[in-house]
Amino acid sequence: MHAPSQPQHGLPSYRFGACTIDALRRELHVGGQIIEPQPLVFDMLLYLAQHPGRVVGKDELLASVWRSSFVTDSVLARAVMKARRAINDLADPPQLLITVRGLGYRLDARVTEFTAAPHETAAAGATHQAPAARPRLAILPFVNATGEPSLNWAALGLAGLTHHQLSAGADSGLLALAALSAWQASDDRAQTRIDEACTQFGVDQALACTLLRGSDGLRIEANWGGPKQALQRRCFDGADLLALCAELVQTLGHDLATQLAPEQAGSFWEEQVARALVLDRKGQPRQALALLEACMDRLPASAAIHLLHARLLRKGVQLSEARQAAELALQTARQDDDHSQEAASQIELTRIDTDEGKFQSAKVHCDEAQRLVNAGKIDVQLRPDLLIAQSALDMNLGRHEPSMRAAEQALTAAHALGDSQLGPEASAQLGHTLLYKPNLPRAIELLQRAASEAKRRELAGIELECMRKLATAFNFSRRYRASIDAAHRASTLATALGNEQERRAATGQGLFSLVESGRIEDGQRQLEQYQQELGTNIPARLAGNLARLQAELCWRQGRSDEAIRLLADLLGDKQRQVRQTKWYCLSDLCRWYLLTDQQAAASDALAHMHDDPDPCRLARSRAEMALTQGRRGEAKAILREAWSQQSLSSESGQNVTIDLAWLHLEDGETQELEMIMGPVLVMSDEHRATALLLRVHGWLQQGLPKLAAPQWQALTAEIPALQRRLPWFCAEEQLLQLLQGAARPLPVLLDSACF
């Protein structure tokens, strides 16, 4: 039971019907008798009495009552059943504690709150005046002494499990977990922790456990006792952490003459599945996977368990094992004639195949799940999940319009269901589709909103996903500082969650923006550190991103042959390719070949771009080819057509705008230039070519200021590519001729000249 956390007077009590809840003495009076429910059942009744007439959802009950003890639906339902028995709400249907299906529970009673002295409260009709049972034992948070962040969950997690199992006894005398949620001892020694807890909370004994890593696996070192009792010590060794915890519970239960209730034998392992779900929800799939696999053999096989196993394996990028688990879930669901689990298994297989690049197989699974939806055979709550999976598949197939529609429908469906997790996830997916549709301003707005919502709901995994996508969105918008900040936030979240794979990916994203911002020396130094950290065992897709980053850095350093070789090798290695890699590689190769006078190779790269889903990127490559071959008018016409028909907020759309504006500026076509400059004025000047265009356009409007010449030289000096390949362009005479509309034109498009 709770130890009082404030002075022993003035705590409110609550009266409804024949029931009185005495918060001070932690007593429940029903019809003149004192009833002694389990501590968590009492806490739940107290919380509902504090919020009468309002539907209290499951998540709210878990956060406010159970705190660090995460429960399954069945355990929560049992607690509600016990609460009804305690307050004598035995009618069918219940009259006081109402289940609002799909939403939560409501105390449907007029509740009177009053404050009384202890003797007054006790006299409120009770015939049994025995004092309330005093807490005798405190289960202290475990100390993780393994040095492994992946086991940090054990501090409150194993303490919560131990508390939950021991509280099954009618006379467990446990101090409520809530009293210990923020408690810390002066040091980690067991004797110190036990002495301080007993003194502070007034309990007879305390249990202090330390988690260690031994030569043969894990060890739980348990110490319990108190000021008036000798300290007892036991060690539990083995590879299965949860089995060790179960052994501890049994040992401690025997020592306290408290046996586990028969109905709790299976629920111990159900609790671990519930905890794995919570860890997954909070963005810790690897820890969730370890927890789930520790208890799978102790639970009956079911489609739901296999499906959770598949999802956690997929998030850990163990795709072959994930496929096996998902196929087992599908087989079990069909045997059980469970259409909802069958559809959920098909959705999971869609995600696995999409991640593996097996898009045709993914489409078969997605279509089968859709068939079950259309037949009305599945839980409506699966619809947002299906639409998110479908959107991701369509995006990988280059079907941006259908991908966006599916993401929008997923968001609508999630909001209609009030799903607190799928809502932010659908927003993140929609924001991601808009990166390639594209609509960067809306993508950034959606992703920022989804990240804030995920943070508010403590969905760290979804917040991490949003921050990584925001890093990409800011990079596409040429807002490199914001991109680096978002990547750093993602890396920090991944580190806190113990997700090494996501941390490495986020670090790579930050490096891309660092290099593209022109900070070449910093980029080279950090890339070397990054490569040293990665070692040789690099996942294929991360290796693909690393190859692109190395190629871009080589090009910006003037090592053109090495840059071209790296991209050509990547283009021929499908295993290392990620979404959009093919088009980025072909586009960069086309312009790099042109800048190194390899016309035939450039023509071949351009021919392979015929089905590029980004029309602006394709138009730029075609225009660059025409310009280098002396067909300047054709180059302008190609760019003008793309500029007038396509979205200009994308990365390639911005390039089209900048390149076309520069061609008009060089040719002295002032009217056409002014028409195009509107969108440029709101672009980020962190992009070197954009900054150059904006500065020259400003001088053109103002007339030639006195300081223009030194500013021009300073500006071009910050662009190594111009200094290296086109030194004549950096001369003061070039600026004068530009402002007069009589300059020597660049042989390539402006963005390529500055790259």
Question: Tell me: the pLDDT tens digits for 22-68?
Answer: 887 778 988 778 887 877 788 889 989 988 888 888 777 876 776 54
- Residue 691's pLDDT band (cuts 50, 70, 90): very high
Q: Is 383:373 a contact under the CB 8 Å cutoff?
A: yes
Please give the distance of CA 702 from its chain centroid, rounded to a whole number: 49
Whole-number pLDDT of residue 269: 65
- Report the pLDDT averaged over residues 619-636: 95
pLDDT, tens only, 184-197: 777 888 888 898 88
- Apex CA 380: angle with CA 375 and CA 386, to 5°? 85
pLDDT at 257 over 50: no
pLDDT at 149 over 90: no
- Report the pLDDT averaged over residues 704-721: 82
- Residue 633's pLDDT band (cuts 50, 70, 90): very high
Pairing relationship of beta strands 205-214 and 137-139 according to DSSP bridges:
parallel
pLDDT at 464 over 70: yes
Q: Is 587:613 a contact under the CB 8 Å cutoff?
A: no
Give the HSE-up count for residue 605: Cα atoms under 13 Å, Cβ half-sphere.
Answer: 29
Q: Is 288:277 a contact under the CB 8 Å cutoff?
A: yes
- Report the pLDDT averaged over residues 254-268: 47
3-state helix, strand, coil in the chain (%, to 5): 65, 10, 30
Instruction: Please tell me which residue, 329 or 63, carries the higher pLDDT value.
Output: 329
Out of 23-27, 121-125, 170-174, 339-343, pick the least confident.
Answer: 121-125
Residue type at 488 in one-letter notation:
H
- Residue 641's pLDDT band (cuts 50, 70, 90): very high
Pick from 364, 303, 374: which is nearest to 338 by CA? 303
Out of 66-75, 172-181, 674-683, pick the least confident.
Answer: 66-75
pLDDT, tens only, 503-546: 888 999 999 999 999 899 999 999 899 888 888 777 666 788 88
Whole-number pLDDT of residue 8: 38
Whole-number pLDDT of residue 208: 92
Whole-number pLDDT of residue 171: 46
- Residue 348's pLDDT band (cuts 50, 70, 90): very high
Instruction: Extract the runs of DSSP E, i.e. beta strands, from 151-195.
Output: none
Select the highest-mean-pLDDT range: 167-171, 268-272, 460-464, 484-488.
484-488
DSSP string, 450-503: HHHHHHHTT-HHHHHHHHHHHHHHHHHTT-HHHHHHHHHHHHHHHHHHT-HHHH
Give 211's strand partners. Answer: 144, 220
Pick from 474, 458, 545: which is nearest to 508 by CA? 545
Alpha-carbon distance values, 196 to 159, 256, 315 (Å): 17, 21, 42
- Residue 255's pLDDT band (cuts 50, 70, 90): low
Q: Which H, E and C letters describe 512-574, residue by residue?
A: HHHHHCCCHHHHHHHHHHHHHHHCCCCCHHHHHHHHHHHHHHHHHCCCHHHHHHHHHHHHCCH
Q: What are phi and psi of 367, to 5 degrees?
A: -65, -35
Q: Is 430:450 a contact under the CB 8 Å cutoff?
A: no
pLDDT at 16 over 50: yes
DSSP code of 62? I
SS3 112: strand
Q: Rounded to whole angstroms, how far apart are CA atoms 436 and 651?
A: 9
End-to-end CA distance of the chain: 68
- Residue 289's pLDDT band (cuts 50, 70, 90): confident
Whole-number pLDDT of residue 733: 87
Whole-number pLDDT of residue 522: 92
Compute the mean pLDDT over every residue in the chain, rounded to the nearest whole number.
82
- Residue 259's pLDDT band (cuts 50, 70, 90): very low
Percent of the chain scored above 90 by pLDDT?
30
- Residue 595's pLDDT band (cuts 50, 70, 90): very high
- Report the pLDDT averaged over residues 463-489: 93
Q: Is 735:712 a contact under the CB 8 Å cutoff?
A: yes
Out of 11-15, 179-183, 230-234, 699-703, pick the least confident.
Answer: 179-183
- Residue 172's pLDDT band (cuts 50, 70, 90): low
pLDDT at 480 over 90: yes
Q: Residue 438: is the preceding peptide bond cis (ω within 30°)?
A: yes
Q: Is 578:541 a contact under the CB 8 Å cutoff?
A: yes
Residue showing tokens 């918008």 = 477
Q: Is 119:127 a contact under the CB 8 Å cutoff?
A: no
pLDDT, tens only, 92-147: 678 889 888 778 899 988 888 887 554 444 444 443 333 345 677 888 989 988 88
pLDDT at 314 over 70: yes
SS3 743: coil
pLDDT, tens only, 404-445: 999 999 888 888 777 677 888 888 888 888 887 778 888 999
Q: Give the sign of the dihedral formed by CA 407, CA 413, CA 416, CA 418.
A: negative
Residue showing tokens 């977990």 = 177
Percent of the chain scored above 70 by pLDDT?
87
pLDDT at 86 over 90: no
Whole-number pLDDT of residue 574: 64
- Residue 1's pLDDT band (cuts 50, 70, 90): very low
Instruction: Please tell me which residue, 239 or 327, carries the higher pLDDT value.
Output: 327
Whole-number pLDDT of residue 254: 63
- Report the pLDDT averaged over residues 357-376: 89
Whole-number pLDDT of residue 485: 95
Task: List, in order, residues 6 or more apart from 401 with CB less than 8 Å away.
Answer: 437
Residue showing tokens 């999802």 = 311
Instruction: Please tell me which residue, 44 or 296, carries the higher pLDDT value.
Output: 44
Task: List, in order, residues 6 or more apart from 320 with CB less than 8 Å away.
Answer: none
- Report the pLDDT averaged over residues 264-279: 66
- The helix-helix angle for 581-595 and 560-571 (nearest 10°) equals 150
Q: Rounded to whole angstroms, how far apart are CA atoms 413 and 410?
A: 5
Domains of the chain (ranges; CATH) run 12-122 (1.10.10.10), 137-270 (3.40.50.10070), 614-754 (no CATH)
Whole-number pLDDT of residue 624: 95
Whole-number pLDDT of residue 748: 93
Q: CB count, 10 Å around CB of 376?
A: 8
- Apex CA 11: angle with CA 6 and CA 14, to 5°? 145
Whole-number pLDDT of residue 258: 39
Instruction: Give me 682's structure tokens.
Output: 């709101």
Whole-number pLDDT of residue 124: 41
- Report the pLDDT averaged over residues 201-224: 86
- Residue 3's pLDDT band (cuts 50, 70, 90): very low
Q: Rounded to whole angstroms, how far apart are CA atoms 723 and 718?
A: 9
Out of 38-47, 58-67, 596-605, 672-681, pick the least confident.
Answer: 58-67
Whole-number pLDDT of residue 361: 93
- Residue 612's pLDDT band (cuts 50, 70, 90): confident
